[in-house]
Structure 1
Amino acid sequence: MTQTPPLDPDVADQAPTGPAMTSYDAHHIVTYIRLLQAEGEGADWREVARIVLRIDPDREPDRARNAYQSHLSRAKWMTEKGRLLRSAGSN
């Protein structure tokens, strides 16, 4: 039985970079979708880091920017490989 991913999981400072979907990726499907939606809407990365990743870019600008960029990059990788849409849609 497939479990529903958490809606607001804690995020690491860096998203995975390997060539295979990880358990971290599976737990962060909703995070990846939210990042992709925000980018599509033209949202400011600082607002996205604050709301989606829960990292304050005013207090930790480098950490927030790096986490945002690595997670957005991973979200794009997931969609390019077709894994994100299949994983998000399968129950």
Structure 2
Amino acid sequence: MREPLLDLTVDDIAPSGANLTVYDEEHLATYWRLLDADAEGADWREVARFVLHVDPACEWDRARRAFDSHLARAHWMADHGYRQLLQTGARR
């Protein structure tokens, strides 16, 4: 398993398949930050700006798309993807 990196630039859209990707492994810290912000009821625009590094004031559509897709992937990771993460980590 790759070491999760902090404060990465994100793609406009997170992966959406049923398999863990290298992108997912690299963005674990981003996903956890999104889940924490979501649990706290943080404004999505603040989260997009500070966690995803996309400013909704300048790029509304891109920020919303990035936020929605990454939050959905974060929930997938927490509900399903972590199993694959544990399996790949055990093999390495």
TM-score bracket, normalised by the shorter chain, equals: 0.7 to 0.9
Q: If the length of structure 1 is used for normalisation, what is the TM-score?
A: 0.88
Q: By how many angstroms is 1:45 displaced?
A: 0.1
Question: Could you tell me how far apart the structure 2 residues matched to 1:76 and 1:16 are?
Answer: 12
Instruction: Give the Å deviation of 1:31.
Output: 0.2
Q: CA deviation at 1:49?
A: 0.1
Alignment of 1:49-60 (within 5 A): 49-60=48-59
TM-score normalised by length of structure 2? 0.87
Aligned equivalent of 1:22: 21
For 1:59-78, what aligned pairs fall within 5 Å after superposition? Answer: 59-78=58-77
Deviation of residue 82 (structure 1)? 5.3
Tell me the alpha carbon deviations over residues 1-23 of structure 1, each in whole angstroms, 9 at most, x when there is no partner.
x4421111110000001110000
The amino acid that maps onto 1:8 is: D
Listed one character per residue, the Cα deviations across residues 24-65 of structure 1 (whole Å, up to 9, x for unaligned) are 000000000000000000100000000000000000000000
Instruction: List alignment gaps of at least 5 residues for structure 2.
Output: none
Greater than 3 Å deviation, 4+ residue runs: none
CA distance in 2, matches of 1:74, 1:57: 20
> Which consecutive unaligned segments of at least 5 residues does structure 1 have?
none
What's the Cα RMSD here? Answer: 1.8
